[in-house]
C-alpha cells in the first residue's frame, strides 16, 4: 500500500503532478467516448509514456485499478479532479497584460472548464483600460495589488514585457497572491512562501536549435 489509504501521500514527484492533468484530459476524452475501462498500457500509449510510469504515478495517490481489467474511467477521472484541486472548488486568477499572449490566455477554454476564473485583468495601456475582454473589464495596473486582495486571487499570470514583470510580480505578492506563473523571459524574485513558475517560450526553440545543429553539422 502506498499511503494511509484515504488521505494524501507524502512525496509526489513534481514531474508526476505535471502529468496528472494530461491523464485527466485523456480520461475526459475517453469518458465522452463512452469508454468505461482503460488499462495503463492504453493510457500510456495515448500520452506517449510507459505503462509502468502510469501505474507508478497513480499509485502515489492510492489504488484505483482492478487487476485484469484496468482502471474505471469515470471513477479515476473523478478522483484525479479531486486530487488536482480542480473538483468542486474554483480558483481565482488575475492576469496582468492584455497583449497577444494575455489575450490568448484569456481565450483559452480549458481554464474555465477546469474552474480557473479570471477575476482581475489589468494593463497599463490607457487604450485598453475600461475595455471588456471575455466578460471582464480591464483595470489599470496601478490597482493590481488592491484588486488582488479584494478578489482573493489565488493565482497570478504575468504576461507583460520583461521590463515591467518584476513590478507586476511585487504587486501580486503585495496583494496576497501565493502562486504566480510568469511568461516574461528572465528571473523574478519572490519571497519564500510564494510559488513561482516561469514559462519561457524561447527556451523551447533554442533547445530544438541545439539538437538540430548537432544533426546538421555532422
Partner DNA sequence: CACTGTGAATGCATTCACAGCG
Partner DNA sequence: CGCTGTGAATGCATTCACAGTG
Q: Name residues whose C-beta falls within 8 Å of residue 9's C-beta, 6 or more positions apart in sequence.
A: 2, 3, 60, 61
Minimum distance of DNA from residue 143's CB (angstroms)? 38
Site for DNA in 58-87 (CB under 7 A): 58-59, 63-71
Q: Does 91 bind a second copy (CB under 8 A)?
A: yes
Minimum distance of a second copy from residue 59's CB (angstroms)? 17
205: exposed, middle or buried (Cβ count in 10 Å: 0-12, 13-18, 19+): exposed
Chain centroid offset of residue 161 CA: 21
Q: Name residues whose C-beta falls within 8 Å of residue 126's C-beta, 6 or more positions apart in sequence.
A: none
Site for DNA in 137-166 (CB under 7 A): none
The residue from 27, 40, 95, 175 that contacts DNA (CB under 7 A) is: 40
Is residue 198 within 8 Å of residue 187, measured between CB atoms?
Answer: yes
Is residue 80 within 8 Å of residue 143, measured between CB atoms?
Answer: no
Q: Name residues whose C-beta falls within 8 Å of residue 78's C-beta, 6 or more positions apart in sequence.
A: 87
CB nearer to a second copy: pick between 22 and 143 = 22
Q: Does 39 bind DNA (CB under 7 A)?
A: yes
Q: Does 13 bind a second copy (CB under 8 A)?
A: no
User: Which residues lie across from 122 on neighbouring strands?
Assistant: 96, 139
The residue from 5, 68, 110, 126 that contacts a second copy (CB under 8 A) is: 110
Residues forming contacts to a second copy in the complex (CB under 8 A) are: 8, 14, 17-18, 20-22, 24-25, 46-48, 83-86, 89, 91, 93, 99-101, 103-105, 107-108, 110-111, 114, 116, 154-155, 178-179, 181, 185-187, 195, 197, 199-215
Residues forming contacts to DNA in the complex (CB under 7 A) are: 1-2, 13-16, 39-41, 49-53, 55-56, 58-59, 63-71
Amino acid at each position: 500500500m502506498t499511503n494511509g489509504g484515504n488521505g494524501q501521500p507524502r512525496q509526489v514527484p513534481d514531474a508526476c503532478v505535471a502529468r496528472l492533468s494530461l491523464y485527466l484530459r485523456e480520461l475526459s476524452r475517453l469518458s465522452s467516448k463512452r469508454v468505461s475501462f482503460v488499462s495503463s498500457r492504453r493510457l500510456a500509449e495515448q500520452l506517449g509514456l510507459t505503462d509502468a510510469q502510469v501505474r507508478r504515478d497513480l499509485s502515489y495517490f492510492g489504488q484505483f485499478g482492478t487487476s485484469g481489467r484496468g482502471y474505471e474511467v469515470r471513477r479515476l477521472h473523478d478522483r484525479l479532479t479531486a486530487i488536482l484541486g480542480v473538483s468542486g472548488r474554483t480558483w481565482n486568477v488575475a492576469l496582468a497584460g492584455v497583449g497577444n499572449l494575455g489575450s490568448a490566455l484569456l481565450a483559452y477554454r480549458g481554464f474555465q472548464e477546469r474552474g480557473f476564473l479570471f477575476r482581475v485583468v489589468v494593463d497599463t495601456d490607457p487604450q485598453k483600460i475600461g475595455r471588456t475582454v471575455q466578460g471582464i473589464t480591464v483595470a489599470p495596473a496601478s490597482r493590481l495589488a488592491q484588486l488582488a486582495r479584494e478578489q482573493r486571487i489565488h493565482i497570478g499570470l504575468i504576461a507583460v514585457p520583461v521590463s515591467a514583470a518584476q513590478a507586476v510580480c511585487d504587486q501580486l505578492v503585495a496583494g496576497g497572491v501565493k502562486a504566480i506563473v510568469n511568461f516574461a523571459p528572465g528571473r523574478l524574485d519572490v519571497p519564500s512562501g510564494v510559488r513561482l513558475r516561469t514559462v519561457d517560450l524561447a527556451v523551447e526553440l533554442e533547445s530544438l536549435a541545439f539538437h538540430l545543429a548537432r544533426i546538421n553539422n555532422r
